[in-house]
Structure 1
Amino acid sequence: MNAINIKDKFKLVDTQWHPRQIAVVDDMQVILAKIQGEFVWHKHDDEDELFQVIKGTLYMKFRDKTVTVNEGEIIVVPKGVEHCPATKDDEEVHLLLFEKLTTAHTGDVQHEKTQTEYPKI
């Protein structure tokens, strides 16, 4: 058991849209990701996702609205809800996510940004 310095861990994330696992809590994983631009429209049929914005501004797009998530704020995307993360003015955004170990990166959508493994850092 050691403390995890999130700022130091973000220095190890060198690729956007490629999440990295920093911890596991029961059947949940704690993930760091750097993102820029728009992701992929997708949903997770059986898992909720929690996004915390560490740096920047996240736009969480839903089919009927877009929610702005600022630094220090979180948003929970309920299972089964189609969503598309995006960034403000193409800035790089740093995210901390909580999701089940079984959560597929882009749900049932296969895309060039889809990752099947989250390396542990």
Structure 2
Amino acid sequence: MPLALPTILLFSLNLLDALLTIVWVRTGVATEGNQLMATLLDIGNGPFLAVKIAIGAVAALVLLRSGDRPLAKYGLAVALAIYIGLMGIHLFTGLAAVGYVSNELLKDLGEIGGNCSR
């Protein structure tokens, strides 16, 4: 299982993304950009979290089962890079929420990332 640790990291980042998204949306700091996930959030935190965890678990199982294939390694590297970038967006969102970063900078970062946070 050469991809076990990176896969666990990816699943953990997916879970952290879900939890931070719930916090930012429920406090009015941000909105969910994915319409399907936004609908689940409208239903409640439980359905949103359940789907997010299920998606992460399926991805983790696929990666663990096909970890010997080059495509799995490249795909995992790309997914980790995306989630690490997403954690940067969460960081700036949190900093903006407490007043350490201007809302304009956050808006500009959201437009660069193709993601609306405010």
Question: TM bucket by the smaller chain?
Answer: under 0.3
Q: TM-score, normalised by structure 1?
A: 0.23
Report the TM-score when normalising by structure 2.
0.24
